[in-house]
Amino acid sequence: MAKPREECIKVLVADDDRIAAAVLAQTLSRWEFDVTVVGDGAEAWRHLEGVAAPTLAVLDRMMPGLDGAEICRRVRRDMPSANMYLVLLTSLGRGEDVVSGLDAGADDYVTKPFDVDELRARIQVGVRVVTLQEKLSQRVSELQAALTNVKQLHGLLPICSYCKRIRGDDQYWQQVESYIAARSDAQFSHGICPPCYEKLEVEIEEQRRKMRPRRPQ
């Protein structure tokens, strides 16, 4: 059964030759990609910098408006952290296009007319790379979040010498246990330590004594 569209990886196909575009679109759709086809470089660029940008793009090296290599250059310059795999379509025997295309920021190239098996193998490499990249960014975000918490607990904490409350970033003084609990996975169970117990016992005894009715003289 075919995957729902939202679960498919988005691919942009940009080629001014409608035959090449049809072959690519049909082939990629059969492999369960969510394919968008455009006929010129300017439109391709609009898609790539849009909010619902594709993860993979197959761009013709020679196109009216912006050519494929120029699009790669712009993606790498203007969106350096974008997780985007760019494949250039080049003509057979144009070795210089391959070199300049890879220099411009393309991840790979396919020679036209491409062989379906070769295209599939190269697109699979792209999928592997973007998936790995996505997992890595996710892990980095998790680690950064964890690191922020650790920093807060290791930083300089203003603490009241008498009541032991801690002043938080919001300038409010709070109990040491609630401060730590909010910034770590620690949980507290409350009790009384022996030295405090001894002190407390003395205090309680004193209170009792004070409260005892005095004997009439």
Partner 1 sequence: MTGDAHVFDRTTFDRQLGGDRALALQILQMFIEDCPARVAAIKRAVEEGDAGALQTAAHTLKGSAGYLAAAFVVEAAAELERIGRDGRLADAPSAVNRLERAVVQLMPEIERATLA
User: Residue 153 in contact with residue 180, Cβ under 8 Å?
Assistant: yes
Q: Is 26 in the site for partner 1 (CB under 8 A)?
A: yes
Q: Which part of the chain contacts partner 1 (CB under 8 A), choosing from 107-115, 125-133, 144-152, 165-173?
A: 107-115
Q: Which part of the chain contacts partner 1 (CB under 8 A), choosing from 34-42, 114-122, 166-174, 180-188?
A: 114-122
Q: Which part of the chain contacts partner 1 (CB under 8 A), choosing from 25-33, 51-59, 98-106, 190-198?
A: 25-33
According to CB under 8 A, which one of 3, 46, 99, 113 is a site residue for partner 1? 113
Q: In angstroms, give the least distance from the CB of 57 to partner 1.
A: 18
Question: Residue 68 and residue 101: Cα distance in Å, rounded?
Answer: 8
Closest CA to 150 of 160, 139, 142: 142
According to CB under 8 A, which one of 22, 79, 181, 196 is a site residue for partner 1? 22
Q: In angstroms, give the least distance from the CB of 102 to partner 1.
A: 20
Closest CA to 27 of 101, 121, 94, 97: 121
Q: Is 19 in the site for partner 1 (CB under 8 A)?
A: yes
In DSSP terms, 111 is beta-bridged to 90
Q: Show the tokens assigned to 199.
A: 């002190």
Q: Is 198 in the site for partner 1 (CB under 8 A)?
A: no
Question: Residue 98 and residue 71: Cα distance in Å, rounded?
Answer: 14
Give the x-and-dash track for 34-73 against partner 1 (CB under 8 A).
----------------------------x-----------
Question: Residue 215 and residue 49: Cα distance in Å, rounded?
Answer: 91
3-state secondary structure of 57: strand
Q: Is 158 in the site for partner 1 (CB under 8 A)?
A: no
Question: Residue 35 and residue 32: Cα distance in Å, rounded?
Answer: 9
Question: Residue 202 and residue 176: Cα distance in Å, rounded?
Answer: 26
Question: Nearest-5° angle of CA 76, CA 77, CA 80?
Answer: 55
Neighbours of 200 (CB within 10 A): 11
Q: Which is nearer to partner 1, 61 or 75 (CB)?
A: 61
Q: Is 115 in the site for partner 1 (CB under 8 A)?
A: yes
In the window 87-106, what residues touch partner 1 (CB under 8 A)? Answer: 91-93
Q: Is 2 in the site for partner 1 (CB under 8 A)?
A: no
Q: Interface with partner 1 by CB under 8 A: which residues?
A: 16-20, 22-23, 26-27, 30, 62, 91-93, 112-117
